[in-house]
Amino acid sequence: MGLVTDKVALVTGGAAGIGRATAKTFAAEGAKVVVSDVNQDGGAETVRMIEKAGGTALFVAADVAKKADVSDLIAKTVAAYGRLDCAVNNAGIEGKIAPFAAQTEENFDAIIGVNLKGTFLCLQAEIAAMLETGGGTIVNLSSIAGLIGFSGLSPYVASKHGVIGLTKNVALEYATSGIRVNAVCPGGVDTRMLDSLAEQVTSGAQSATDMMAPLHPMGRIGTPQEIAELIVWLSSPRAGFITGTAIPIDGGYVAQ
């Protein structure tokens, strides 16, 4: 028996990185998985990887910043598998690095639209589906940028702080409805997003690993699989008394 045997799990932003690792881990632990992303090729590849390993998965394209897409995503999940038990709101973008005074409205709107509004829209639709079947679990992807500030990343920091606020509030509102809601706050992780940030900061002079590893007390960055393991555990009955939390998984970064 896996941690989430016979559960139905949805992972947004599942085309790569933490989302792909999470979708694969859900499947390995016994869940039927719905993978969603705007990147259709990457999402389809995640599904192929799950099926090749003997799991069950479905890809549904969706832009989480659009309510119609989110509604369609949840409807297709329920149509395919009859219910929604576990949801992971992972879809996110980093945007452009710039001093606060130079940040554009367009960059702010894009980041807030995906990272915060997208989480809001997904939460609403996921909770509605879970209430129909007696409950479920939701994990939102925040960041250490949801706990502390980072120069040049004000819209991203605002969005990830907002995700933690939503997590706490929604967890309280549905604590007696069988729905647990938590957030995870990764530090530097070996993903495309970290590569993009490193490229913006160093113009390619340093890799993401070289730039970020020394900033973490453990002397390295994390792996997508390490984040996935926490997410799936939080979604399992073994974490049954945990709700409303924002858990750093950062090699000690915010303990400094």
pLDDT at 193: 82
φ, ψ (nearest 5 deg) of residue 150: -140, 120
Region class of 191: left (phi > 0), else alpha (psi between -120 and 50), else beta = beta
> Residue 60: exposed, middle, or buried by beta-carbon count in 10 A (0-12, 13-18, 19+)?
buried
Spot the catalytic one: 81, 156, 174, 253: 156
Q: pLDDT digits over 31-58, tens only?
A: 999 999 999 999 999 999 999 999 999 9
- For residues 192 and 77, the model is more confident at 77
32 near 57, Cβ under 8 Å?
yes
What are the tens digits of pLDDT across the range 103-157?
Answer: 999 999 999 999 999 999 999 999 999 999 999 999 999 999 999 999 999 999 9
Encoding tokens for residue 169? 């509030």
Looking at every residue in the chain, the average pLDDT score rounds to 96
b/e map 186-200, b = 16+ CB within 10 Å: bbbbbbebbebbbbb
Contact 252, 217 (CB under 8 A): yes
3-class DSSP state of 137: strand
Confidence (pLDDT) at 208: 74
Least confident range from 73-87, 100-114, 187-201, 234-248: namely 187-201
Point out which residues pair with 160 in neighbouring strands: none
Q: Where in the chain is the domain with CATH 3.40.50.720?
A: 8-187+223-247
Q: Are 13 and 231 in contact (CB under 8 A)?
A: no
Tens-place pLDDT, residues 2-18:
999 999 999 999 999 99
Going by pLDDT thresholds of 50, 70 and 90, the confidence category of residue 222 is: very high
37 strand-pairing partners: 61
pTM attached to this predicted model: 0.96
Cα Rg of the chain (Å, integer): 17
The whole-number average pLDDT for the span 206-228 is: 92
What does the pLDDT read at residue 161?
98
212 pLDDT tier (thresholds 50, 70, 90) = confident
Higher-pLDDT residue of 208, 212: 212
Known catalytic membership, residue 81: no
State the pairing for strand pair 56-61/86-89. unpaired
| pLDDT single digits (tens) 76-94 | 999 999 999 999 999 999 9
Q: Which CATH number fits domain 8-187+223-247: 3.20.20.80, 3.30.428.10, 3.40.50.720, 3.40.50.2000?
A: 3.40.50.720
